[in-house]
Structure 1
Amino acid sequence: MNWKKDSWKNYPIKQQPVYPNEKELNKTLAKLEKLPPLVFAGEIRNLQKNLARVTRKEAFLLQGGDCAESFENFGAVNIRDMFKLLLQMAIVLTFAGGCPVVKIGRIAGQFAKPRSSDFEEVNGVSLPSYRGDIINGFEFDEKARVPSPKRMIEAYYQSATTLNLLRGFAKGGLADLHEVHRWNLGFLKKSKLQKQYTDISEKISETLAFMEACGINTGNVPSLKEVSIYTSHEALLLPYEEALTRVDSLRNEIYDCSAHMLWIGERTREIDGAHVHFLSGVKNPLGVKIGPSASASDIIALSNALNPSNEEGRLNIIIRMGAEKIEQNLPKIFKELRSEGLNLIYSIDPMHGNTVKAGNYKTREFDNIIKEVRAFFEVGIAEGIYPGGVHLEMTGQDVTECTGGIVSNVKTENLQKRYETQCDPRLNADQALELAFLIADLVKKARA
Structure 2
Amino acid sequence: LLQGHMHSALTLNFIRALTEGGFADLHHPEYWDLAWVEHSQHAAEYRRIVAEIGDAVRFMETLAGAPVASFSRAEFYTSHEALLLHAEQALTRQVPRQWGWFNLSTHLPWIGMRTAAPGGAHAEYFRGIRNPIAVKVGPEVKPYELLHLIDLLNPDDIPGRLTLIHRMGATRIASALPPLLQAVCEADRRVLWVCDPMHGNGETLPNGVKTRRFANIRSEIEQSFDVHAANGTRLGGVHLELTGENVTECLGGARALNEQDLTRAYRSTVDPRLNYEQSLELALTVVHRVRQNSAAAPAG
Alignment of 1:19-30 (within 5 A): none
Q: 2:260 aligns with which of 413, 421, 431?
A: 413
In structure 1, runs of 5+ residues without a counterpart are: 1-151
Q: Structure 1 residue 370 and structure 2 residue 218: aligned?
A: yes
- 2-structure distance, mates of 1:386, 1:302: 20
Contact 1:265 1:288 in 2 (8 A): yes
Pairing 1:69-80 to 2, within 5 Å after superposition: none
* Equivalent position of 1:309 in the other structure: 156
Shift of residue 212 of structure 1?
Answer: 4.9
Equivalent of residue 14 in structure 2, options 165, 174, 185? 165
Give the 3 Å change call, closer, same or farther, for CA 216–371 of structure 1 in structure 2: farther
- RMSD after superposition: 1.8
Q: CA deviation at 1:187?
A: 4.9
1:341 corresponds to: 188
More contact order relative to length (CA 8 Å, sep ≥ 6): 1
**Is the contact between residue 212 and residue 250 of structure 2 (CA under 8 Å) also seen in structure 1?**
yes
TM-score by length of 1: 0.63
Residue 194 of structure 1 deviates from its aligned partner by 2.4
Deviation at 1:432, TM superposition (A): 0.9
Q: Deviations over 1:301-339 (max 9, x none)?
A: 111111111111111100001011111111122122212
Q: Can you give the 5+ residue segments of structure 2 that lack an aligned partner in the other structure?
A: none
Quote the residue 1:60 is aligned against.
none
Q: Is the 8 A contact 1:387 1:446 kept in 2?
A: no
The one-letter amino acid paired with 1:393 is E
Matching of residue 320 in structure 1 with residue 186 in structure 2: no
Q: Which residue of 1 aligns with 2:49?
A: 200
- Would you say the 8 A contact 2:28–2:54 is kept in 1? no
Q: Which amino acid aligns with 1:177?
A: L
**Deviation (angstroms), 1:210:** 3.2
Distance of aligned partners of 1:180 and 1:234 in 2 relative to their CA distance in 1, 3 Å threshold: farther
**How far off is 1:184 after superposition?**
5.3
* DSSP-derived class of the 2:70 partner: helix
| Total equivalences in the alignment | 294
- Cα distance change of structure 1 residues 155 and 379 upon mapping to structure 2, 3 Å threshold: same
Are residues 198 and 173 of structure 1, via their aligned partners in 2, closer, same or farther at CA, if it must alter by over 3 Å?
Answer: closer
| Residues in 2 aligned to 1:322 and 1:185: alpha-carbon distance in whole angstroms | 30
C-alpha deviation, 1:155, in angstroms: 1.6
| Superposition map of 1:123-272 within 5 A | 152-183=1-32, 186-188=35-37, 191=40, 193-214=42-63, 220-272=67-119
1:12 match:
none
Q: CA deviation digits over 1:106-149, x for unaligned, max 9?
A: xxxxxxxxxxxxxxxxxxxxxxxxxxxxxxxxxxxxxxxxxxxx
2:42 touches 2:284 (CA, 8 Å); kept in 1?
Answer: no
- Counterpart contact for 1:184–1:201, Cα < 8 Å: no
**What is the CA deviation profile of residues 320-375 of structure 1, one whole-angstrom value per residue up to 9, with x for unaligned ones?**
01011111111122122212111100010001111112222111111111111111
| Structure 1 residue 166, shift from structure 2 partner | 1.8
Deviation at 1:216, TM superposition (A): 5.2
